[in-house]
Structure 1
């Protein structure tokens, strides 16, 4: 396509490089412009989509050619057509193009490479539309595996479009029926996992009704896949949704339902459901259930064997680090703050201190830090609580998902109930947490390490 060729000649290969030129062209026209989103630009650049009318005058002004000329295919012979001479425009001349620009940094290379991979994946999937071919399932498996790994490690905004796109691709293949009977189980399994992740995403955005609806879809796919581990996992997610919605009774119901289903499974999903039981029971003040569930989970870990969900990792496995974090949280909800529990709280934070650990998750680290602050408050150490929760309050808004916000607010509630609530440190900390909920940005910066 000539549009892509013309941009490459000017050294433009990404939305970030495109927008400054686009904005200057809009200013020359005296237009109040609307910037195209990165996904919109990628649709033009890689998929050959024609721009909507609102963008066309600016693109013509920027590149000096009509839309029809710009959206002319380059011949497959590889012989590039002679481009019409661009209309002279004011401002700096565009940079000379080269296949590998010396000034391109690693982040640009990764971004442009990711766009190319996304385009190639789409091509493979489209060529197999008549029937799920030999390439389709491996591509979908790899795509889903990457999303599973990335989900707990990056802001949701960076993978949300990819997640919805993957779900759409899998459901399309299920809807059309263009698959072999032997492929149906795999497709339902992938659909169940993607519905699980999308439901978790809605919950992280505090859109609980959508999260509940999507979790029901995940349940349906898990049943169709005849995968008890995945079905138990979805019940765990339903418990999680109600836990963060401050409905501990419902959270306990779903956790017990999933725990009963996973009682004979050897993977870690059963351990997660016991941890969810303990946390929900703690909110209800049921100390006996908390102790039994936590003790049973640690005993069962010794005989657990990783299953296909554990092998995928990410949100689908329940690491020892996460188990310690859950156990501390349940005890903190009961109001405990002794030295032993404080040591376990510190251990939970240490468990998530290394971003290179495959079990690292920014949400679990923040939750563990909030739990440590709770334990310190229960022990009367307000200054210590203010210190350990500081990294959470310093998180960029794009990382502040619903679970992190609720965890921080629980610290604020504990501050209000503390004997030291009138101290200057307590008042200042409470006021800071009160304004913690974010205005999320669409374009996150890399996480701090």
Structure 2
């Protein structure tokens, strides 16, 4: 009787599986969302990624096949990672950190190194944005030990450069930025490259990040060079490939670098396209950069100029009407100011 029961249960368990098409559809939906991330408002991405994650979670109990379970765990982790990116862009760093940890909880049991490395980089990014650069350095070093693809290494070297910039170490900033440029782009992985999109890290994104690193250590000349390069690379892309987020954040960095070089007229001209951006595309990274521009306008060399006062007022109004107010369930996630 025991043998019969065991055989019966084993047969029932073995018969529980999903069709290959079910998992393939979920992967296709998630890849499409990641690759169109730069074309859609972050709030829309958040809603759609949450829907995909919920569908994945409902499918998990419907299969007992280890291979399918591992695939679903990976997809659930990637959905949470995409949610983490959207939450950050919408100004909720706490939600972004929680969602990044959720992604790790899904993929650590299946030892998926590329996504674990991506999450480590994201935790580093969140830590230095929150004023914890020493913790950020721990995260990025751990992640670098897992990265194999050129894209993953470029991203982590860029994040490391920003981390060292927050720590005030220009020599390490220079080292990490050079390392980011020397990666082999032909070495790929299934997260940063095959899933790609928001999980990738293009050369223009790396150049934009380099500009931000130079700004943190008050190197206006190198910041102008890096931010200008980022904008030049963006402009080589087709409209479908172009990331408005990267373009606008690099533009704000360039304006701040120009102010560091005491060129108010150039900064005003540079920021023109930024002010045309609709509220749903005014993501948190851009708002934070514009706050840096606003603060720079108050230095003694600039604050007496009428143009500086007017630009400061314009930035304040622009920041009040932003994508932060569009995060679904905003009260629950306690949006930052």
Unaligned runs of 5+ in 1: 1-129, 443-449
Question: Cα–Cα, structure 1 residues 229 and 322, in superposed 2: closer, same or farther, change >3 Å?
Answer: same
Q: How many residues align?
A: 309
Return the match for 1:361 from 228, 243, 247: 243
CA distance in 2, matches of 1:344, 1:202: 27
CA distance in 2, matches of 1:308, 1:317: 11
The aligned residue for residue 406 of structure 1 is 288
Is 1:307 the counterpart of 2:192? The answer is no
The aligned residue for residue 254 of structure 2 is 372
Unaligned runs of 5+ in 2: 1-15, 327-337
CA distance in 2, matches of 1:439, 1:328: 23
Question: Cα–Cα, structure 1 residues 359 and 387, in superposed 2: closer, same or farther, change >3 Å?
Answer: same
Q: Are the aligned partners of 1:352 and 1:360 in contact in 2 as well (CA < 8 Å)? A: yes
Task: Provide, for residues 377-425 of structure 1, a one-character-per-residue CA deviation record: whole Å limited to 9, x for no partner.
Answer: 1111011111112222221111111111111111112222362222111
Question: Cα–Cα, structure 1 residues 325 and 188, in superposed 2: closer, same or farther, change >3 Å?
Answer: same
When the two structures are superposed, what TM-score results if normalisation uses the length of structure 2? Answer: 0.85
Return the match for 1:172 from 58, 62, 72: 58
CA distance in 2, matches of 1:246, 1:382: 29
Q: Are the aligned partners of 2:150 and 2:185 in contact in 1 as well (CA < 8 Å)? A: no
The aligned residue for residue 321 of structure 1 is 204
CA distance in 1, matches of 2:39, 2:67: 33
Q: Tell me the CA shift for residue 198 of structure 1.
A: 0.8
CA distance in 2, matches of 1:413, 1:258: 33
Return the match for 2:100 from 202, 215, 221: 215
Q: Tell me the CA shift for residue 368 of structure 1.
A: 0.5
The aligned residue for residue 114 of structure 2 is 229
Q: Tell me the CA shift for residue 139 of structure 1.
A: 0.6
Is 1:198 the counterpart of 2:83? The answer is yes
The aligned residue for residue 151 of structure 2 is 268
Does the residue aligned with 1:360 lie in a helix, a strand or coil? coil
Q: Tell me the CA shift for residue 177 of structure 1.
A: 4.7
When the two structures are superposed, what TM-score results if normalisation uses the length of structure 1? Answer: 0.64
CA distance in 1, matches of 2:136, 2:85: 15
Q: Are the aligned partners of 1:167 and 1:195 in contact in 2 as well (CA < 8 Å)? A: yes
Question: Cα–Cα, structure 1 residues 179 and 161, in superposed 2: closer, same or farther, change >3 Å?
Answer: farther
CA distance in 1, matches of 2:235, 2:216: 23
Q: Tell me the CA shift for residue 311 of structure 1.
A: 2.2
Which has more radius of gyration? 1
Q: Looking at both structures, which has the greater relative contact order when contacts are Cα pairs under 8 Å and sequence separation is at least 6?
A: 2
Q: Are the aligned partners of 1:324 and 1:344 in contact in 2 as well (CA < 8 Å)? A: yes
Across the aligned residues of Structure 1 and Structure 2, the Cα RMSD in angstroms comes to 2.2
CA distance in 2, matches of 1:303, 1:313: 13
Q: Tell me the CA shift for residue 354 of structure 1.
A: 5.5
CA distance in 1, matches of 2:142, 2:28: 31
The aligned residue for residue 60 of structure 1 is none
The aligned residue for residue 383 of structure 1 is 265
